[in-house]
Chains A and B, each alone.
Chain A
Amino acid sequence: MEQLTWMLAGMLRNAARLLPPGRRQWAEAVRAEAGQVPAGWPRLRWLVGGLWLVAGEAKMMRKVVYRLGAGALAAAAAWVVWLSWRTSAAADPQTVTDRVRVLVVAAALVVLPWVGRRRGWFGPAGSSITARLVRLAGCAAVCGLGVAVVRMDSHLGLGPHRPGPFSLPREIAALALLGAALAALTVGKARWPDDPGLWNFLSGFAGVLMFAVVPLQALAIVYVAGILAATSRRSPVANVSLAIGTITGLAAGLAVGLAVYADISDRYTDLLVLGVVAMVFLLAALAGVAAAWLLSGIEDPQELRAARTHQGLLAGSVAGAVCGLLATNFSVGAVVMMVIGPLAGAAGGALGGIVAAEHPRPSRSARSWAAGLFVSH
């Protein structure tokens, strides 16, 4: 027991160095008091409390979780790349092309932790558990895209989801050109900031061009950016909208995933796509209504109406994007849902938000308890 106490005291002395200089005195204070605490378990518990204090003040849990998360992402990315090299013959140009896609997704995942920590649009992560969970699960789902591509390669020639006629030199050249274009845009925007409208237009144009040339890579990068932006501290997406949108999107994505695997005749494919889009629209509309109704804390009716419409739109977009990402994880053949999903979701969510804004539920501030009875003013 004595040795254990001595060891813990030493640990506390060393752990104090993890704290910023202004905080070290608190760990030293616990250690200084330890001698007054009765020997045995009480003293041991006292020292453990000191270590707990250091862990809390040094934000160690956050650092540990961040490092574990970064390590897990890097490991997942490496695993996907390894899987890609292992599963199929190298001579096939389509396979090699898919490897480039996998590498792009892996690179996006490796830079994620770095981008996500910088203060700005994409980071740091929001303080709510919802934002952190969505960020984590979203990154895992983007990693899953790489696995889906690899899986498609391993079943090359089987089933309806054949890869398109891509060429490796064209993809690499296109990526290099787009990289140069984006770099030129960034430099130009920084050097001549007088006309932001023009630069925004050119950025949008470059984005559309990128999507036309390398759709999966562009989508992966856009989704990564979207996940980070929606879950950052500056995010315009309210916590409740994020939660409702994600849950709705998971349900819709699961349904789409099952539909992709269903044995349906080619004659009904168009009908199936139409049905899926309608389902996403309707579910997103419901999510939009729920997110808009649950919004509170705004007194001005005009502002509240606008905010409800806005949150409805965002919840619907989140639902559509989550649905698209999940469906593509089920099968790369459903990649079109990564575009249609957010669009249908945004439309449905906006409609739901507008409906909720026009038919507001009674505000909580307009109700109160009086003399034990619930009354409405």
Chain B
Amino acid sequence: MSRRAAFSAQALAVLAALAARPSAWRHGYDLARETGLKSGTLYPILVRLADREIVQACWEEGEPAGRPRRHLYRLTSDGLAAATAALAAAPAPATRAARPGRAAVPRRLAGEGS
């Protein structure tokens, strides 16, 4: 991507959660618990990240017993590079531990989306 872009603090938190286990497929509730974001915040971020091909999304394969199929997410290879760069440029660590119960990073951090 040639355009410089800024990630919000919440987007950085999602990127940090995904980048922690880049090869694993994660589901929405799992990400929501890890980042402390509400569904109304988390999913629009995932939509934007998927639009920018930073995140890839797919439906769980097969028919799991007792629950519906889940929508799963992980970083693309370009997305991993973008997330790493953005998290390195962010002034505060995007982890939940810094501020329990909420997204840990300041309200808006200007990172670089490469």
Contact = CB atoms under 8 A, between A and B. Distances in A.
Interface stretch (A52-60, A167-175, A225-233): A52-60
Given A45-B38, A46-B39, A26 B47 contact: yes
A32 B71 contact: yes
A interface residue count range (under 10 / 10 to 19 / 20 to 34 / 35 or more):
20 to 34
Nearest to A29: B71
Contact of A28 (B38, B44, B67, B71): B71
Contact of B39 (A35, A49, A57): A49
A33 B59 CA distance: 12
Interface in B44-76: 44, 46-47, 57, 59, 67-71
Contacts of B44: 53, 56-57
A200 interface: no
B93 interface: no
Given A29-B28, A45-B38, A53 B71 contact: no
Contacts of A318: none
Contacts of B42: 49
Given A26-B47, A37-B29, A57-B44, A32 B69 contact: yes
Main secondary structure of the interface of B (DSSP, over half): helix
Contacts, number: 63
Given A29-B71, A32-B70, A32-B71, A49 B29 contact: no
A36 interface: yes
A25 interface: yes
A35 B38 CA distance: 15
Residue of A28, A30, A32, A50 with most chain B CB atoms under a 10 A cut-off: A32
Contacts of A45: 38-39
B29 A36 contact: yes
Residue with the highest number of chain A CB atoms closer than 10 Å, among B32, B43, B47, B68: B43
Interface in B1-48: 27-29, 32, 38-44, 46-47
B43 A53 contact: yes
Contact of A49 (B38, B67, B71): B38
Nearest to A28: B71
A48 interface: yes
B46 A48 contact: no
Contacts of A48: 40
B40 A33 contact: no
A161 interface: no
A23 interface: yes
B38 A33 contact: no
A20 to B, nearest CB: 12
A49 B68 contact: no
Nearest to B71: A29
Given A36-B29, A37-B29, A49-B38, A26 B43 contact: yes
A358 B27 CA distance: 60
Contact of A26 (B29, B46, B68): B46
B47 A57 contact: yes
Interface string A4-38: 00000000000000000001011011111101110
A54 to B, nearest CB: 10
A32 B40 CA distance: 15
A55 to B, nearest CB: 9
Interface string A135-169: 00000000000000000000000000000000000
A363 B28 CA distance: 47
A29 B57 CA distance: 10
Contacts of B67: 32, 35-36
Contacts of A30: 28, 39, 43
Contacts of B68: 31-32, 35
A33 B70 contact: yes
Given A37-B29, A45-B38, A50 B43 contact: yes
Given A33-B27, A49-B39, 20 more contacts: A25-B57, A25-B59, A26-B43, A26-B46, A26-B47, A28-B71, A29-B43, A29-B57, A29-B71, A32-B68, A33-B29, A36-B67, A46-B32, A46-B39, A50-B40, A52-B39, A53-B39, A53-B43, A53-B44, A56-B44
Of all A-B residue pairs in the complex, the 5 with the closest CB atoms, nearest first, are A49-B39, A49-B40, A29-B71, A52-B40, A32-B68
7 contacts: A30-B43, A33-B29, A36-B29, A37-B29, A45-B38, A49-B41, A50-B43
Interface of B: 27-29, 32, 38-44, 46-47, 57, 59, 67-71
